[in-house]
Amino acid sequence: MTKDQKDNLFSLVKSMTKSEKRQFKLYVGRLGVNDDSKFLNLFNVMDKLSSYDEVAILKNANIKKQQLANVKAHLYKQILISLRLSPSHQNTRSQIREQLDFASILYHKGLYKQALKILDKAKDVAIQHEEKNLAYEIVELEKVIESQYITRSISGRADELTIQAKELSQANVIASKLSNLSLQLYGLFLKFGYAKNQDDAKEIQDYFNARLPKYDISQLGFREKLWLYKAYLWYSFLMQDFLNCYKFALKWVSLFEQNPEMIHLNPVFFIKGNNYLLESLFYIKNKDKFKEYLDKFEDIINTPSFNKDENVEALSFLYYNVNSVNYYFVDGSFHEGLQLIPKIEKALPKYQDRIDEHHTMIFYYKFASMHFGAGNNRECIHYLNKIISNKSLSMREDLQCFSRVLNVVAHYEEGLDYHLERLLRDTYKYLLKINDLNEVQKEMIRFIRGLQDIFPHDIKKAFVKFHKQLKQYENHPYERRAFLYLDIISWLESKIENKPVAQIIKEKYLEQYA
Q: Residues 41-51: pLDDT tens digits?
A: 899 999 999 88
DSSP state letter for 6: P
Whether 233 and 245 have beta carbons less than 8 Å apart is answered as yes
Whether 93 and 70 have beta carbons less than 8 Å apart is answered as no
| Residue scoring higher pLDDT (306 or 230) | 230
pLDDT higher than 90, residue 76: yes
The burial of 11, by beta-carbon neighbours within 10 Å (0-12 exposed, 13-18 middle, 19 or more buried), is given as exposed
How big is the chain by its Cα radius of gyration, in Å? 28
pLDDT higher than 60, residue 491: yes
pLDDT at 514: 57
pLDDT at 88: 63
Instruction: Name which of 152-166, 240-254, 259-273, 330-344 the model is least confident about.
Output: 152-166
- Taken as a whole, the chain contains a residue count of 514
| Residue scoring higher pLDDT (446 or 128) | 128
Choose from 108-112, 231-235, 300-304, 305-309 the range with maximum mean pLDDT. 231-235
| Residue scoring higher pLDDT (34 or 67) | 67
pLDDT at 323: 95
Confidence of residue 440 (pLDDT cuts 50, 70, 90): confident
pLDDT at 427: 81
Cα–Cα distance for residue pair 316/107, rounded to 1 Å: 42
**Alpha helices (H) in 415-500, listed in sequence order:** 417-433, 439-451, 459-471, 482-485, 488-497
Whether 135 and 126 have beta carbons less than 8 Å apart is answered as yes
pLDDT higher than 90, residue 418: no
Instruction: Name which of 98-112, 263-277, 329-343, 400-414 the model is least confident about.
Output: 400-414
Confidence of residue 320 (pLDDT cuts 50, 70, 90): very high
pLDDT higher than 60, residue 4: no
Confidence of residue 420 (pLDDT cuts 50, 70, 90): confident
Instruction: Name which of 162-166, 224-228, 294-298 the model is least confident about.
Output: 162-166
Ramachandran bin of 403, using left for φ above 0, alpha for ψ from -120 to 50, beta for the remaining angles: alpha
pLDDT at 33: 55
- What is the rounded average pLDDT of the residues 301-305? 88
Confidence of residue 32 (pLDDT cuts 50, 70, 90): low
Confidence of residue 454 (pLDDT cuts 50, 70, 90): confident
Q: How high is the mean pLDDT of the chain?
A: 85
Confidence of residue 488 (pLDDT cuts 50, 70, 90): confident
pLDDT higher than 80, residue 90: no
Percent of the chain with pLDDT strictly greater than 70: 91
Give the list of residues 6+ apart from residue 264 with CB closer than 8 angstroms, or none.
91, 305, 306, 307
CA 390 to chain centre: 21
Can you point out the beta strands (E) in 99-171? none
Cα–Cα distance for residue pair 68/376, rounded to 1 Å: 53
- What is the rounded average pLDDT of the residues 484-499? 83
* CB atoms closer than 10 angstroms to residue 210: 8
pLDDT at 72: 92
Question: Among residues 133, 214, 231, 115, which one has the least CA distance to residue 174?
Answer: 214
